[in-house]
A and B are shown apart, each in its own frame.
Chain A
């Protein structure tokens, strides 16, 4: 088994060593499905659009809970020293932890597949938009999780990691909001638009929800998580000094 695989297996297994993981998945499913269903019959539209529209906001509260303990736990129980003295590069430990968190999120997301099944049984939804919507949902989670993993490495307390990750994710979300962009533009001309177009994910996220998988969106959702994983590795290495 590769070194990344060894770390992945331990971290992924650790999610299911306590009932918290199961509770997390159930609550995640109930809230997402509940909010979706509350407007589904009123809208009369066979589409998952409302589900995907809510996802960036829901994930701000759920995904930092997945990542908050990824490093903080190791620092509290001493296993951080074990991981950092294993005969493997730090980036492999980072990647193993990240992939475990991403796999856990994908399982939680997969539990929502009953929604497209239901929508398809009740109408004729745009299958392409649903597929690209789910691809976007995975990519959005990949971004939040990489950010959360990096921030978890900066704090010893899980709650601090949770709050800061939520706030930074909220920042990424808000800089794509037209009102916020207009507000910042009014304050510093062009800066709000610059943030929306170059830093925030909303533009790319919206294109994926329309069923358009463009190269820019894919590049954005790969580059930004990689950047946070690199930052996480560098911050771990920096601690040696």
Chain B
């Protein structure tokens, strides 16, 4: 559905996007994750044709965005980061304007307005001035304008930014519901947002894609190898030195040491199960094993790990230059 190939965007000395490539399939929901200023919004603006890439191409349904932006815009519903509302207009007037500007008219426009009003829960504010609405309702009006022409693709830039928890849940549910019949790309810098809304994530940092995949894959990749957390009743030095000699162990980190219990994290090659070996090793030395388990990497940990790796690589590249 959407193909982004080697897209870069340069603003003066700043490279906002750097050779970014990814695909989004039909009816897929994709979350863009990254720190503020990472390039998420720039990527979205390029897909919507609001800005042109310095290099690279974007195609939507095989149509080059640079060559035929009008056709592409008909397929896309877009909610920018700054909600594009006319505060002095009433909700009904605004939706009417957005519908007409996208070529709708007559009974079709009326039915589309009724549909978005119901989906976005705007019945109670339909005749109210947009400037008088709460932030949550304003966000829903913004979403309604993006949906008015029943687009195949929805691009939502930080759709829950600034909303209260209840409003966030409502918008998330709506996005999930819409994703059943539309391709949805949304951006956020809130990690929970991604895990509760989508499976596939692209992490962007400093204009580059540093991770692209399904949540579980990314969490596993962030671990960098098989990990094991073990708590023994033993001396700290013995544990540190002893475990390091085990075959396949790449790293031993003591996490805590108190009341005679030492908790350590062992890192081995990917796919390797250290539990039998560590069990035998502890039994041979007479260390009672208090606890043993494979630690789970949270999305937060994975995100931080990817950002750390990306920054380390960039520092290395900078040193080479």
Contact = CB atoms under 8 A, between A and B. Distances in A.
B86 A77 contact: yes
B145 interface: yes
A78 B102 contact: no
B50 A81 contact: yes
Given A240-B50, A240-B52, A86 B102 contact: yes
A78 B84 CA distance: 5
A56 to B, nearest CB: 32
Interface residues of A, number: 25
Interface in B51-105: 51-52, 54, 70-71, 73-74, 76, 78, 80, 82-89, 93, 97-98, 100-103, 105
A17 B82 contact: no
Contacts, number: 70
A207 B83 CA distance: 50
Contacts of B105: 1
B7 to A, nearest CB: 14
A223 interface: no
Contacts of B45: 81
Scoring A14, A79, A87, A240 by chain B CB atoms within 10 A of each residue's CB, the highest score goes to A87
Contact of B86 (A7, A79, A84, A88): A79
B86 A6 contact: no
A192 to B, nearest CB: 40
B50 A6 contact: no
B73 A82 contact: no
Interface in A1-25: 1, 3, 6-7, 9-10, 13-14, 17-18
B52 to A, nearest CB: 5
Contact of A79 (B48, B51, B84, B93): B84
24 contacts: A1-B100, A3-B101, A3-B103, A6-B100, A14-B88, A14-B89, A18-B88, A77-B86, A78-B80, A78-B84, A79-B85, A79-B86, A81-B50, A81-B80, A82-B84, A82-B98, A82-B145, A86-B73, A86-B102, A87-B74, A89-B70, A240-B49, A240-B51, A241-B52
Interface of B: 45, 48-52, 54, 70-71, 73-74, 76, 78, 80, 82-89, 93, 97-98, 100-103, 105, 145
Given A14-B89, A81-B78, 20 more contacts: A1-B105, A3-B103, A6-B97, A7-B101, A9-B97, A13-B93, A14-B88, A77-B84, A77-B86, A78-B83, A79-B85, A80-B84, A81-B45, A82-B80, A82-B84, A85-B48, A86-B101, A88-B101, A240-B49, A241-B52
